[in-house]
Amino acid sequence: MVAFGVLSLDDAFRAIDLDTITLLLGMMILVADLRLSGLLLAATERTMGRAASPVTLLIAVVALAGSLSAFLVNDAVCLVLTPPVVELALRRGRDPVPYLLAVAMAANIGSVATITGNPQNMIIGSLSGIGYRAFAAAEAPVAAIGLALLVIVLILTHPGEFLSGDRGDAPPPPRRRPARANRAFMAETLVVTAAMIAAFFVGIKPAEVAIVGGAALLLSPRLKPRRIYAEINWTLLLMFAGLFIVVAGFDHAVLSPPVLARAAVLNLNHPLALTALTALASNLVSNVPAVLALKPLLAPLHDPHRAWLIVAMASTLAGNATLVGSVANLIVAERARALGVRLSFAAYLRVGAPLTLLTLAVGLWRLG
């Protein structure tokens, strides 16, 4: 964009939304601490280990993945949950595929609930100016209903696993190697996490909360900062900066006032039209570029506040349609394959396609 004169270097720098980059960096530090402290793994094992039957195990997986993804970046949640879910399912003699579907899809649905749930929500929170509480009040009910629908759809599409006479009620054998945990380190991390969530809801700027909380975690004497730095996805941060520049150049070169005027034919003031366009664009170019590209189309709408909430909902829920619809799905598939379990495109589509339509309908009902 700079080399071909679409943007000046100063324009390229100004196109980068530092609030989003800072928020994402702070949340990466928090997730790294939660992983390295053993807190996420301990919570996972404790929650799922108490499930006595396949249905209760499914509910536990959905509830855990969905609730964690509401406040933490959903990709990181999938990274942590996939191995213990596969292990527990295999130790119980169950088919791990429906539980893996539960991890990926619940992480996507749960991340709808708040600004910190996924990268596109972080961008929307920064671009729209919608507060954390207002965003959660609008989107959390969509996430809660979506998680309930996920449980129902998985049970109906896998009757052999959940509706057969063999309920698999016997508890699994104990782990041969119990997870090690530093309780003091876990307590520190839990306190900082709780403080950050409280600060989000109080109304402090999310980027400020995230980076201050991340700095507090880096000051802990119980873990060397370089171990946390090694967990941060610096490539993703750089990619986001690049996306801001590329989309700004696209807007400048392609979305001229006459083009934007002709876009009125799309009737994006209608929630159904905006939902359909967002879902389609998210599956064609991925949700983050889609959200950035839609920005100039939303400004002239009658109610940009509601439009941004619809875009947040549709861009996230559309990721459940196919296996390649979101990074979270691919993380689950890759982690499972490394453990000897194959999650196929067809197996995902059989659940994801109807679930996406149902959840998008719920989102339209709540936000439209």
Q: CA 87 to CA 77: how far, in whole Å? A: 16
Check residues 14 and 265 and name the one with the higher pLDDT: 14
Q: Band of the pLDDT at 185, cuts 50, 70, 90?
A: confident
What are the boundaries of each domain within the chain? 9-164+179-367
Check residues 76 and 117 and name the one with the higher pLDDT: 117
Task: Tell me the angle at which helices 54-71 and 132-157 cross, rounded to the nearest 10 degrees.
Answer: 160
pLDDT surpasses 90 at 51: no
Q: What's this model's pTM, rounded to 2 decimal places?
A: 0.86
Residue 110's pLDDT is what? Answer: 97
Residue 251's pLDDT is what? Answer: 84
Q: CA 99 to CA 265: how far, in whole Å? A: 43
> What's the mean pLDDT in 189-195?
93
Q: Band of the pLDDT at 184, cuts 50, 70, 90?
A: confident
User: 256-265, 309-318, 351-360: which range is least confident on average?
Assistant: 256-265
Q: CA 78 to CA 172: how far, in whole Å? A: 23
> What's the mean pLDDT in 175-197?
77
Residue 301 neighbours by CB under 8 Å, 6+ apart = 268, 269, 307
What secondary structure letter does DSSP report for 3? Answer: T
Could you tell me if 71 and 117 are in contact, meaning their C-beta atoms sit under 8 angstroms apart?
yes
Alpha carbon dihedral 267, 272, 275, 278, in 10-degree steps, equals: -40
Q: What are the C-alpha distances in Å from 2 to residues 94, 255, 274, 310?
A: 54, 18, 32, 33
Could you tell me if 294 and 284 are in contact, meaning their C-beta atoms sit under 8 angstroms apart?
no
Q: CA 78 to CA 74: how far, in whole Å? A: 6
Residue 179's pLDDT is what? Answer: 47
